[in-house]
Structure 1
C-alpha cells in the first residue's frame, strides 16, 4: 500500500492547488485514491477490504502527505470511518460494504440530539468539520439520546444522501479536506445502524471478527492522524535542506546557508524532533498491532500513555516546522512555495482535539500519581 501511495504523489502535487481553490479534494484525486484502493485501508477483509495494520495506515498517511496533506488526511479519516462501520451490527456492515467495498465516509463524534422511536432514533443536528463530506457515501456521527432519564451517547450510520451539506469550510489550512458541515432534521435511523459510544473507549478481546477491531478506538484513531503530520514534516525538511546549498544566508557573508554552523545546528534540531515524533508514532502503532494480534486488551494506563505520546509527537512536528520556516526565511511564506502549505496545514492539523498535548499530559499524569479521575470519556 505504501508503494501505491508513493505512486500517487505526482498527481497529488499537480492537483494540490486545485484542492486549495475548491476547498475539497479535486475529483481527479478522489478517483485516483479510489482506484488505488486507498478507501479500503480499514475495510473488513470479509468485504474484500485491505484491513491493514496500524503501522501500514501510518505509512500510507505519511507517504501521501509528502505531496498533499489534505489528501492524506482524507484517506486517514475515511479509514477511521471504515473502522467504525466495522463495529456496527452485521446487518449495517452488509448494507454498507456488501454493495460497495470502497464506501467512503465522513462524520464527527460531536453529538447531535436524538429521541428514541420504535426500533430506532429520530435525530437532528449540525455536525461541523466532516472531512470528505462532498465525496462521502456514508456518514458516522454522534448523538445524545435521553433513555430512562439518563443521557446516552451513541453513534449512527446514515447514508450521506440523507444529509444536507453546508459549505462552511473556510480556513487557512487543510483546505482540500472539504471539512464542511452535515445537517439532519428529524431524520429516522433504524436501531441496527446505531452503536453505544461507550463501546469505543474499551476494547473487548475476541469480540470482533477482524484483528484490527481489537484495538481501542481513540488510540487507533488519533494515532493514525500523526501519519499526515509526519509526511508534511519530512517534506518540509527535505525542501529546506535541499535549498540550503544554493540559497545565501541573508545579511551575512555566507554565500550558502549550508556553510553556517548555526543553520546546520538548527536543521539537526528539526530533523531530530521529526525523528523523535516518528519513533513515538511507529512504536505505538507496532505495540497496538502486537496487542491486537495476541488478543490482548490495552488497559486504561496504557491508553492514557498513548494519548500523551500522541500529543507530544504532534508538538514535536509543530516545533520542527517553526525552526524550518525560520531557517528558510521570509521566503517560506511565498504562495509559490510548498513550504508555506506544509506549515499552514501541519499547524492546523496539530490543533485537532485528539492531538492537543496538554490534555494528553493531564490524562497520563493522573495515572502516574494515582489520581482516579477521568477527564475524557473516550480514552
Structure 2
C-alpha cells in the first residue's frame, strides 16, 4: 500500500477511527502474546502513522502536535497498548528526522516507504565515550515500547572523555541520544507485566559499539534550534511532549471505559439490586459526574496544548515560557487523576464482568499501568506551583487598598 506525503490531520484522524474495530478485535490476542499482533502491526504500518511527525522535507506529514495528540487519543479508545507503542515510535521518528545531522537523517528518512520504527529509551542511562567521528557506546536500558515492530532502537547516554563526564556550557552533564540498528542490540526480554502487555516494552543492551556522529543528537541541554523544520512538539521539548503524549492516551482509555459501562448498564443487574445499573440512581449520578469531569479536563487539555503550540510556532515564536510549561504540567497530571477515576468507576460498577477477560478489564489494567509512569510524578506539580502561586496572589492583590504616596 502506497503512502502519500503531506496527509492532513483530518485524514489521519479518520484513518485512526477506521482502524478502531480491527485493533480492538486484535487486543485480546496482543495481551496473550505480550506483543502487538501481526495483523494489527501490518494495519498500522500500511496506514503510515510513523510519518505523522516527520518533516515534509522528507515526505512526512509534519502534523501540528495537537492533531497528533488527537490521533493517539482515538487509537487508545481501540487499544491502549497499540496507542502507547505507536506514540513511542511516532515521537522517536519525529525526533530523529528533525534533529539528526543531514547525513544521518537522509540515510534513515529519505524514502517515505522505509521510515524506521525506532523503539527504546532515550533517557541517558548509558555511557558514550567520545572518539574520532563518534562515540564508543555502552549501556543497558528498559521499556523499549514497540520492540517487536522495531527496525532500530534508540539509547541515551552521558558523554565522557578519558573516563570523566563532559559538562555542557550551562554546567549540566552533556547527554546524547542515538539511533542504532536492531541487529546491533541485545534484546533481553523481561516484560512479564500486568497492563500494557502488548507494548512489548522489553529491556535491552548496547555495546561496546561505535556509533557515528551521523546518528547522534543532543539530549541535554535539549536543542533550542532544530536541524530542520519539523513537528512543533520538539520546540516544546521533552518535558512537555512526553507527559502530554501519555495524557492523550489516558483520555482515550477513560472515554472507552465510560462507553463500555454505559453499554453494559441496561443489561447488568448486580446481586441484591432491584433493577439494572442504568436504572440505579447512584450509578446514574456518578456516571454524569465522571462524564462531566472527563469532558472538562479534555477541553482544558487541548486549550492548554493549543496555546503552548501556538506560542512556539506563531508569528513571534520563542521558547516555551515558564507559565505555559507549568500549565501543561498541571493539566497532564490532573487529567490522569480524572481518567483513573473514570476507569475505576467503570470497573467497580461492572462488577464481576470486569474480572473476566474483556474490554473494561483491559482498559482498567492499561490505564492503571500508564498512571505509574515517571514523567507523571506528582513532584512535577510541586515544581509547577511557583507560577500558579504568583498568579493567584496577583489576583488577590486586586482587592487590596492602594498604597497612598506622600
Which residue number corresponds to residue 142 of structure 2? 128
Question: Partner residue of 2:120?
Answer: 107
CA distance in 2 between partners of 1:233 and 1:369 (Å): 30
Q: What per-residue deviation string (whole Å, max 9, x for no partner) do you get for residues 159-200 of structure 1? A: 222112111111010000111112112011112322221243
TM-score by length of 1: 0.91
Q: Give, in whole Å, the separation in 1 of the partners of 2:73 and 2:13.
A: 9
Equivalent position of 2:6 in the other structure: none
**Residues 270-317 of structure 1, C-alpha deviations (whole Å, 9 max, x = no match):** 212222331232122212332233123212332233122211111110
**SS of corresponding position for 2:220:** helix
Taking the TM superposition and a 5 Å limit, the aligned residue runs for 1:1-379 are: 1-85=12-96, 86-100=98-112, 101-110=114-123, 111-147=125-161, 149-150=165-166, 151-200=173-222, 203-204=224-225, 208-210=228-230, 212=232, 213-253=234-274, 255-294=275-314, 295-335=317-357, 337-356=358-377, 358-368=378-388
Distance in 1, matches of 2:231 and 2:196, equals 31
**8-17 or 145-154: bigger deviation:** 145-154
Report how many aligned residue pairs link the two structures: 365
Which has the larger Rg? 2
Please list every run of 5 or more consecutive structure 1 residues that lacks an aligned counterpart in the other structure: 371-379
Q: Give the secondary structure class of the aligned counterpart of 1:124.
A: strand
Aligned equivalents of 2:231 and 2:187: distance in 1? 34
Offset at residue 209 of structure 1 (A): 1.9
CA contact 2:34–2:199 (8 Å) conserved in 1? yes
C-alpha spacing 1:140/1:280, structure 2 compared with 1 (3 Å): farther
Match of 1:374 in 2: none
RMSD (Å) for aligned C-alpha atoms: 1.9
User: C-alpha displacement at 1:210, in angstroms?
Assistant: 2.6
CA distance, structure 1, for counterparts of residue 258 and residue 165 of structure 2: 54
Aligned residue for 2:54, secondary structure, equals coil
SS at match of 2:29: helix
Large movers: runs of 4+ above 6 Å: none
The 1-side partners of 2:384 and 2:293 are apart by 21
Unaligned 5+ segments in structure 2 are 1-11, 167-172, 391-406
TM-score where L is the length of structure 2: 0.85
* Structure 1 CA distance for aligned equivalents of residues 382 and 338 of structure 2: 18
